[in-house]
């Protein structure tokens, strides 16, 4: 298989369970998917297992969680067999995660520049001066106009959109091959969202990175991603090219599409999704 079309990530029959006081929660059930150098959206309603899937790939589950799979392979790494030390070396360097709110992901008592620089000091053993230069260049790459000034700001001093661009800098500075973005723009207003998405898009294309984009915004995923995985109650009910989403056949996907408001074809009433128990079964 040519290098370019080889999957970066291959997940085969992965399930995630959480034992709780009221019984076992089967958060993810037997999911199977590959991610190549492409943008793959995962959509589904709240509780459908999207974030749990992303965190299981990063091996960031609570200790009580049970993750089983036939295979979870990231490039040359068997994620099921990797030690915690192996995972620490991979996280933030070869696989990065961008979360919804940078305020919770950034350390409040360190300047944003120091935090970004720390990534390359840690993973690439760069000296302080070289790390600072790389950081300033990366901040400039995400369209931050005055990187010298922004380098010295603390997380509470930056706006939501700038915070997310800082997160993108931090997550991309080590040139990962896979990014998992979990609702990365949900906290932003529409114009800032477009700017952040366009920066992310450019960097992903330019560096040939694979992206898993978790969202419950069907319209966003449809326009931003190449392929879409639709989850319902822990299962993948359908995987389809984003350009062909309107031709989706699964009744859950059809229901999601029909529940979307449209400016071109306004309707008096939006459809309410009617669920069937069989969608959650094998």
Ligand X SMILES: Nc1ncnc2c1ncn2[C@@H]1O[C@H](COP(=O)(O)OP(=O)(O)OP(=O)(O)O)[C@@H](O)[C@H]1O
Which C-beta is closer to ligand X: that of 204 or that of 230?
Answer: 230
Which C-beta is closer to ligand X: that of 27 or that of 199?
Answer: 27
Judged by CB under 6 A, the chain residues 165 through 224 that form the site for ligand X are 216
Residue 16, strand partner residues? 28, 67
Which C-beta is closer to ligand X: that of 54 or that of 113?
Answer: 54
Q: Are the C-beta atoms of residues 96 and 179 closer than 8 Å to each other?
A: yes
Which C-beta is closer to ligand X: that of 27 or that of 236?
Answer: 27
Judged by CB under 6 A, the chain residues 21 through 80 that form the site for ligand X are 25, 27, 44, 46-52, 62
Q: What are phi and psi of 32, to 5 degrees?
A: -140, 120
The minimum distance between CB 69 and ligand X, in angstroms, equals 16
Number of Cβ atoms within 10 Å of the Cβ of 133: 14
Closest CA to 99 of 188, 8, 29: 188
Which C-beta is closer to ligand X: that of 24 or that of 137?
Answer: 24
Rounded-to-integer distance, Cα 110 and Cα 154, Å:
6
Sketch the per residue contact string, 92 through 131, with ligand X: x for CB under 6 A, - otherwise: ----------------------------------------
The minimum distance between CB 182 and ligand X, in angstroms, equals 8
The minimum distance between CB 175 and ligand X, in angstroms, equals 27
Angle at 89 between CA 85 and CA 90, to 5 degrees: 115
Q: Does 235 bind ligand X (CB under 6 A)?
A: no
Helix (H) or strand (E) holding 256: helix 251-258
Angle at 171 between CA 170 and CA 175, to 5 degrees: 110
The minimum distance between CB 58 and ligand X, in angstroms, equals 13
Which C-beta is closer to ligand X: that of 114 or that of 182?
Answer: 182
The minimum distance between CB 20 and ligand X, in angstroms, equals 5
The minimum distance between CB 101 and ligand X, in angstroms, equals 13
Cβ neighbors of 121 (< 8 A, separation 6 or more) are: 127, 128, 131
Binding-site size for ligand X (CB under 6 A) equals 14
Cβ neighbors of 120 (< 8 A, separation 6 or more) are: 126, 130, 131, 134, 135, 173, 174
Q: Which residues bind ligand X (CB under 6 A)?
A: 18, 20, 25, 27, 44, 46-52, 62, 216
């Amino acid at each position: 298989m040519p290098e370019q079309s080889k999957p970066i990530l291959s997940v085969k029959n992965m399930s995630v369970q959480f034992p709780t006081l009221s019984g076992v929660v089967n958060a993810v059930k037997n999911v199977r998917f590959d991610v190549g150098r492409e943008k793959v959206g995962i959509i589904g309603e709240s509780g459908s297992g999207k974030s749990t899937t992303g965190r299981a790939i990063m091996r960031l589950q609570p200790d009580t969680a049970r993750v089983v799979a036939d295979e979870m392979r990231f490039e040359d790494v068997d994620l099921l067999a990797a030690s915690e030390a192996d995972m620490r070396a991979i996280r933030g360097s070869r696989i990065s995660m961008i979360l919804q709110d940078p305020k919770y992901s950034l350390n409040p008592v360190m300047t944003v520049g120091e935090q970004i620089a720390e990534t390359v000091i840690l993973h690439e053993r760069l000296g302080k001066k070289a790390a600072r230069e790389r950081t300033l260049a990366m901040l400039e790459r995400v369209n931050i106009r005055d990187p010298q000034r922004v380098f010295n700001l603390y997380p509470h001093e930056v706006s939501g959109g700038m915070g997310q661009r800082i997160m993108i800098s931090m997550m991309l500075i080590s040139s990962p091959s896979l990014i998992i973005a979990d609702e990365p723009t949900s906290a932003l207003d529409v114009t800032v969202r477009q700017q952040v998405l366009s920066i992310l898009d450019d960097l992903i294309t330019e560096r040939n990175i694979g992206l898993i984009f978790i969202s419950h915004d069907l319209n966003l995923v449809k326009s931003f991603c190449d392929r879409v995985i639709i989850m319902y109650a822990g299962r993948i009910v359908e995987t389809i090219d984003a350009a062909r989403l309107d031709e989706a056949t699964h009744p859950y996907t059809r229901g999601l599409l029909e529940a979307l408001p449209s400016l071109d074809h306004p309707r008096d009433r939006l459809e309410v999704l009617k669920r069937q128990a069989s969608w959650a079964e094998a």
